[in-house]
């Protein structure tokens, strides 16, 4: 049997990030073959993932990546068990690497993201990457949601807590990244329901009109004024829920639409993700 030296253990520990005893045991079982030992550790990581799969994942963070050359980007929600792990640099790096993989492959499917070979390292899959981190952090880690978007331009924002992420898509590429970042922060803070009025379900609008009309009638307003008052109420309701009609968070004298129009930017889509919501 090959002698397992301290140097061999050290090298494997640097590659795997696992405790020295785990590395020494893997090297012993594989006759000192570093690649075989690494593969064994990955298999054990997969087994550990299966054992932990039933444990609650109430924490996590959003990973984000934009490929400006392709006009594409992605958000990935990765869940774990505790806040310390969610804030661990290894976990943060995992979330961002998975977002980069999603942007590169154009997938919005969590299973496909994990099963696909990594663009940066085809010898590994996304699941291998996840298991490597799980093996180091010793918690249940799951990819919950993946969002991929492409267009003329794409921008992302992740709140400093890591729990809220936003991606926006523009019709044409733009160099005004500062404004797009501000719009992303606006979305993170004000949580609009839709980009335009037309995207809000008609049934939701009719229900709101019904409630507003009853309130107006109950207040004793003249019948000939009801529809005009109703129109004003519904317009205010839209201004709270429709992104383009909301007062811009950095200049509430203008709507988001007006700010974008002044910058000659047309927003075509957005997604806001919040961990656990």
pLDDT at 2: 67
Nearest in space to 187 (alpha carbons), one of 162, 161, 208, 156: 156
pTM for the model: 0.80
* CATH superfamily, domain at 6-52: Ubiquitin-associated (UBA) domain (1.10.8.10)
pLDDT at 172: 93
Architecture of domain 59-195+266-274: 2-Layer Sandwich (3.30)
Nearest in space to 50 (alpha carbons), one of 142, 119, 178, 143: 142
**Looking at residues 94-119, what average pLDDT do you find?**
96
Task: Kindly state the tokens that stand for 116.
Answer: 């696909």
- What ranges do the domains of the chain cover? 6-52, 59-195+266-274
Q: Give the pLDDT band of residue 138 (cuts 50, 70, 90).
A: confident
Whether 114 shows a pLDDT value over 60: the answer reads yes
pLDDT at 1: 52
pLDDT in tens, 155-175: 999 999 999 999 999 999 998
Choose between 105 and 222: higher pLDDT: 105
pLDDT at 45: 67
**Looking at residues 254-271, what average pLDDT do you find?**
97
Burial class (CB in 10 A: 0-12, 13-18, 19+), 233: middle
Task: Kindly state the tokens that stand for 218.
Answer: 């109950």
Number of Cβ atoms within 10 Å of the Cβ of 240 = 12
pLDDT in tens, 42-83: 777 655 555 565 677 789 999 999 998 899 999 999 999 999
Whether 245 shows a pLDDT value over 90: the answer reads yes
pLDDT at 132: 86
């Amino acid at each position: 049997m090959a002698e397992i030296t301290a140097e061999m253990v050290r090298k494997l520990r640097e590659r795997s990030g696992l405790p020295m005893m785990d590395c020494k045991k893997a090297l012993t079982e594989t006759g000192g073959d570093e690649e075989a030992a690494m593969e064994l550790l990955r298999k054990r990581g997969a087994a550990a993932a299966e054992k932990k799969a039933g444990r609650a994942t109430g924490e996590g963070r959003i990973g984000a990546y934009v490929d400006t050359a392709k006009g594409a980007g992605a958000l990935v929600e990765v869940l774990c068990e505790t806040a310390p792990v969610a804030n661990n640099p290894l976990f943060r790096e995992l979330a961002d690497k998975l977002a980069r993989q999603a942007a590169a492959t154009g997938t919005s499917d969590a299973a496909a993201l994990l099963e696909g070979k990594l663009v940066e390292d085809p010898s590994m899959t996304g699941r291998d990457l996840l298991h490597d981190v799980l093996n180091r952090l010793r918690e249940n880690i799951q990819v919950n949601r993946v969002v991929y978007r492409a267009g003329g331009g794409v921008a992302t924002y992740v709140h400093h807590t890591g729990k809220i992420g936003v991606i926006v898509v523009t019709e044409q590429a733009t160099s005004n990244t500062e404004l797009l970042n501000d719009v992303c922060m606006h979305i993170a803070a004000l949580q609009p329901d839709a980009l335009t009025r037309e995207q809000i379900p008609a049934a939701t609008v009719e229900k709101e009109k019904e409630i507003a009309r009853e309130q107006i009638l109950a207040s004793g307003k003249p019948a000939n004024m009801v529809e005009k008052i109703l129109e004003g109420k519904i317009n205010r309701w839209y201004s709270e829920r429709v992104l383009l009609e909301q007062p811009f968070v950095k200049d509430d004298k203008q709507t988001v639409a007006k700010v974008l129009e002044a910058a000659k930017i047309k927003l075509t889509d957005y997604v806001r993700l919040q961990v656990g919501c």
